Amino acid sequence: MKFRGKTLLICIAVPLLTGGLAGFISRDSMGTFAALNQPPLSPPGWLFPVVWTILYLCMGIASYLILTSGSPQEKIGKAIRLYGWQLLFNFFWPLWFFRLQLYFFAFFWLIALWGLLLSTILSFFRISKAAAYWMLPYLLWVTFAGYLNLGIALLN
């Protein structure tokens, strides 16, 4: 596989910009979030942007591995469409949760995101095991976010 730097940069930029825009739109909501009753194991607020930045980098690397895999275009196209859908759901979740404070709605949205993410990982696995592995930390974090989201919905 030939390294394609420009493609890698674009693949990394897409999730970073998507997450950055969602973060920008919901940026004023962290004060409200800090005042909420939190479930046990809630991390400090400063950790969220750090973790998400790392996860967006992982997503970008995974999508790069898929796009440059040399697999049939039909297979790559299906995997990237799933990736795009999960990224779209990822974009809207902080708006539902932080900006609009629709905690139960955001939880069910997160369940849908989790399903799309699992489908994406399975689709990636059929093309590149490494790409699927790059997505696993994201699946774990979304699972943990589901716990936090439900806890906040129930406690507030």
pTM: 0.93
Report the distance separating Cα 150 and Cα 59, nearest Å: 25
Residue given tokens 């967006």 in the structure block = 56
Report the distance separating Cα 71 and Cα 15, nearest Å: 22
Residue given tokens 């949205």 in the structure block = 109
Q: pLDDT tens track of the chain, all 156 residues?
A: 688 999 999 999 999 999 999 999 988 887 888 899 999 999 988 899 999 999 999 999 999 999 999 999 999 999 999 999 999 999 999 999 999 999 999 999 999 999 999 999 999 999 999 999 999 999 999 999 999 999 999 999
Listed by start position, the domains of the chain span: 5-35+43-155
The Cβ of residue 6 has, within 10 Å, a number of other Cβ atoms equal to: 7
The Cβ of residue 77 has, within 10 Å, a number of other Cβ atoms equal to: 12
Say whether 42 sits in a helix, a strand or coil: coil
- The confidence score (pLDDT) of residue 3 equals 85
Report the distance separating Cα 104 and Cα 26, nearest Å: 17
Task: Write the CATH number of the domain with boundaries 5-35+43-155.
Answer: 1.20.1260.100
What is the total residue count of the chain?
A: 156
Q: What are the phi and psi torsion angles at 60 (to 5°)? A: -60, -45
- The confidence score (pLDDT) of residue 1 equals 66
Tokens of residue 44, six digits: 């400090």
- The confidence score (pLDDT) of residue 136 equals 98
Using CB atoms within 10 A of its CB, is residue 5 exposed (0-12), middle (13-18) or buried (19+)? exposed
Instruction: Tell me the HSE value of 89 on the side-chain side, using a 13 A CA sphere.
Output: 22
HEC-encoded secondary structure of 72-108 = CHHHHHHHHHHHHHHHHHHHHHHHHHHHCCCHHHHHH
